[in-house]
Chain A
């Protein structure tokens, strides 16, 4: 190991081959998760604005910025290609404050050679070898196996809530800094005994980045709908986890071409018998442009929701959700009537 001390917390701005950090005995911390699981996430965002970040910057970036201002995390691996276009500027602005910024890129052209080089760069930084990383991959794959079981129980058995599904998937970016403790949390989800959700519930796929709404899932359930597919969060959990480390990170769809994501979405939509998609877009995020592509490429109905500040669903967003749910239920009823007749 290089200059890093064991157990040092290393910030990450998005999913990276986190096996490398675990191999080094350091602790990965997804800055997004620290921010959104805080008791008062919006206070954190407001603080970033007071410190000078523009109002028209994505909430996730503002949240990470504030987190870095107030924690003991001094080293950050920032994903500079394949995620957010604001990361470089945000992390550079923290260099004078003593934050060390290590850039990591997922090459757009999905080149093995380039990705291997990027991973090697991070391994060299931490002073670890490929074999060390493969050992930590085996450790993490044990946890991923449980996450994928939870995901399957969500869409196939219909016995896991959208909220628990999301919790399991989203925390796979950093395994909450402690894979064994995370495994215990996941087993609690597995052990929850619940009746399957009614077959009449609409089945949605949630596309795009994680939302900042705090009550989306209970609200959808109150309307007779649930999310049985989290497109991006599922990718964080590396559904192709059985392959080698390099292959795993090439199979991960989110950082590469949009059309790779579309292919994955189409396959999962069929498998999971989806009724429609909710495409979540964050205000001021470049991913908003992908809405056009989804509408061109996907055949199921799509509702686009935009969120800015962290909090409960506002009246206008509820109106959209209500209309979408009612529209799809009425379509479904007609289809079933036509089939019966």
Chain B
């Protein structure tokens, strides 16, 4: 039995692979993992509490995600999340392609060629193009995230680059009479504009879109409009943790 764990900034994603190759996927808020399911050891590392997670003893644990270095799981093989996401994307596309992962705080792009990450790019020092920004904006606009994701037509022009200041800009636009669908589309389009330069670093147009952000239909629309041939795997938010298990397989083969 093998467990993959992707410790993201917002959620922890689990993938439990049983010996007969059945896969169970679930998630929990990252803070719950820290507070309820870790035992701190004297050497500063942490041990996963399988019992409190309702799991039997697991043979192999592979960890990825932003928190993998902070959590320091003593039982786990640690994998970089960019490589894990790329490995996850290779499940659905071969040859040369771009992998775009939109997570809670990070947006990552990797150029994959023949089963290998050739180059990558990650947003830096600013989370304005990330999932958390979209969540905040949905809250400010008072719409569920899924609804925000559905608007792409006639986007309102949002000029503030900061995710926090954008809130007051949106409130100002509401007062000017800009409609809710236009504002939702504006939020999505401004996010797309932040991601586009990361993609355009390479001429490749085949794209695997993963992470929670891959559920954003408006983003998909803008990507397709920019001539990207987009593939979204099933359960895209679990792509990293599944890729993590794929990397375990590779390691065992080698």
Contacts and interface: CB of A to CB of B under 8 A. Distances in A.
Contact of A330 (B67, B70, B116): B116
A25 interface: no
A306 B106 CA distance: 15
Interface in B40-92: 66-67, 69-70, 80-83
Q: In the complex, which range does the number of interface residues on chain B fall in?
A: 10 to 19
B189 interface: no
Given A306-B124, A308-B125, A315-B69, A327 B81 contact: no
Contacts of A295: 201
B117 interface: yes
Interface string A297-332: 000010010101000000110111011101100110
Contacts of B67: 315
B19 to A, nearest CB: 28
B106 A316 contact: yes
B149 interface: no
Q: Is the interface of B mostly helix, strand, loop or mixed?
A: mixed
Contacts of B66: 315-316, 319
B162 to A, nearest CB: 12
Contact of A283 (B81, B118, B125): B125
B133 interface: no
Given A306-B124, A323-B120, A315 B70 contact: yes
Contacts of A324: 120
27 contacts: A295-B201, A301-B119, A304-B124, A306-B124, A306-B125, A308-B125, A315-B69, A315-B70, A316-B66, A316-B106, A316-B122, A318-B69, A319-B80, A319-B81, A319-B122, A320-B122, A322-B80, A323-B80, A323-B81, A323-B82, A323-B83, A323-B117, A324-B120, A327-B117, A330-B116, A330-B117, A331-B118
Contacts of A319: 66, 69, 80-82, 122
A295 B67 CA distance: 30
B126 to A, nearest CB: 10
Nearest to A322: B80
Interface in A41-82: none
A277 to B, nearest CB: 12
A55 B69 CA distance: 29
A243 interface: no
